[in-house]
Structure 1
Amino acid sequence: MNPSQTVLGLETSCDETAAAVVRRAPDGTVEVLSSVVASQIAEHAPFGGVVPEIAARAHVESIDAIAERALAEAGLGYGELTGVAATAGPGLVGGVMVGLSFGKAVALARGLPLVAVNHLEGHAVSARLAADIPYPFLLLLVSGGHCQLLSVEGVGACRRLGSTIDDAAGEAFDKIAKTMGLPYPGGPALERLAEGGDAERFALPRMLLGRKDCDFSFSGLKTAAARLAEGLSTDDERRDLAASVQAAIARQLAERSDRAMQLYAREQEGRNLRFVVAGGVAANGAVRQRLMEVAAERGFSFSAPPLRYCTDNAAMIALSGAERLALGMADPLNAPARPRWPLDAAAAAAHPTHVAGRKGAKA
């Protein structure tokens, strides 16, 4: 039987400095002993989005105190850890380097194994922080930077079924909110504005209708919504546009998830029909409700992380590290920070949705 793992997790891939301590028992039971997240919303709000240099400096200033607080809330010291896990990508590489370097220092000083975690793998396991969700399962990973459908077959074993060919759903939420003059962060602000709005008032484009795959596209929706926003003059119109945008994004996520469910069910021969949605957009109530309906229609169970684990956090990183350590998987201290790191590297290379740059294939 695998030994118990008590892991310090570190997350600095974007604009949250986070640390957590998670214990994974030999039987796979998970206990979150602490989860601390320091947001940088105030620092980035004047710019309407995340500024990488500001984010990296903020991580440097706070990572030590955040890690100490996570250990204090867990009632543990560094000597009681069995490992340390840190996000190693993908993300803003300046921020990734901060958390990864801190994790390497802890591992070196305390003689602990290091796990360099793929941030997307953290999201993939995030629902397992609060529920018993066995592998395999179908995952919709939907956030500000990523939008993918994946067959998650085990620890670190993800197969891509579909991905966005341009913007992510969360990015579309944020950018449309910005064109409407809503404050940063835009996604939650747009969801609040959409309450009580008429989602049928504005006709918005439905992208990739001629394709039968599971890929997404949100750039056309973003452009159409921006043009409509320019002509709005009343609060009711703004509310209706927000509701229409939210419904359009939820509809596309549901349509592609429905296709993936049909494909996945055939592959699984009707067994293990579990559907998990994770990432920041999973916190959107309208999106979550629509996906729950599709899962029920297709005979899938539906799971999503608690809201506190939908957005970036270190508990998911710690759990990913603990699962890997339980299988004897660890990384050397020269593990690199990676701005790009696809979960399914073979699919990214064979069927890229974006032209690879000098930093490698996009996720």
Structure 2
Amino acid sequence: MTAQDFILKTYNANVENGSVKWSSPSNIALVKYWGKKEHQIPENPSISFTLSDCKTITEITYSKKEGNDFSFDVYFEGEKNEAFKPKIQTFFERIEAYMPFLKDYHFKIETSNTFPHSSGIASSASGMSAIALCLMSIEQELTDAVTSSAVEKSFFNQKASFLARLGSGSACRSIEGELVVWGKNESTESSDLYGIKFEGDVHANFNNYQDTILLVDKGEKQVSSTVGHQLMYGHPFAKERFAQAHDNLAKLKTILASGDLNAFIKIVESEALTLHAMMMTSMPYFILMKPNTLEVINKIWAFRMKTGSKVCFTLDAGANVHVLYPESEKEIVLEFIEKVLAKYCQNEHYICDQIGKGAELLIKS
């Protein structure tokens, strides 16, 4: 597939109105994407767990209009939100070539999250993927497309992921589950243009894998991910980092098949720390971890050493900690989180989740 394949050639301009509603989950990368080229193309491949309960629910109501401008209103948690409009305006400008009907309609975009905003969960991933899916359902309505066959359903998901990527890179990994690969590599079926469901062998050890997100710091990051990605240009360790990501993805493919949880821990934790090492060695340099982030990491290491547990951590580009562990250890790890780790969270707040199947169509009318 190329970008040209996603250009909508013809559509029914006589459809007056309609509405569609999707839920789309966040995701947590195991091999991290950090650094991008033009047009939201990743510098290195990544693979992520799709989450189950941490998701964005978005409804778009559309109605025919006159004029040749983008027209939309955004509501977040029931309140009109002007702060989100510039990002969606940019998104519409990027995807207009692939969805020429965008200026034919006024869109009312109503969105909400099942998790607290600015909680360190990738809301841009769930949010932009939910919008992309809604727009794909509208395209489907305007073209009378039928997605019952495997090929057509595949195209729907590919284009939704392609569009989501143009809103937020990691959003392309939120369309499907349970594991999604994004970025060309030699180890797996992959593409720079969209995320692809990982179809390699996955051992039963990873079934219903758990992710508890510790909300160490609910504040806005002092450096945005967009700025952080840009700082990989000219980074002294960028070339080595990109090569490391390819190597770790190849290793992780083997680990997922074998069920080797000790090897899984090494790759996942190393990837998390490498991500933050890139931030600390860029110019300008910055640190997104907080003191309590390090406290949590050390407590996890001590607990693992003492008990033999297979619990581990990963981090996004922020201070909060994703605690990953097999479903078989759910009881003991949650007790550890409640008794030991919760005190390092703001207001002892954490969110329990697990890997999920991907986005879901809720309403189409």
TM-score by length of 2: 0.30
Name the TM-score, length of structure 1 as normaliser: 0.30
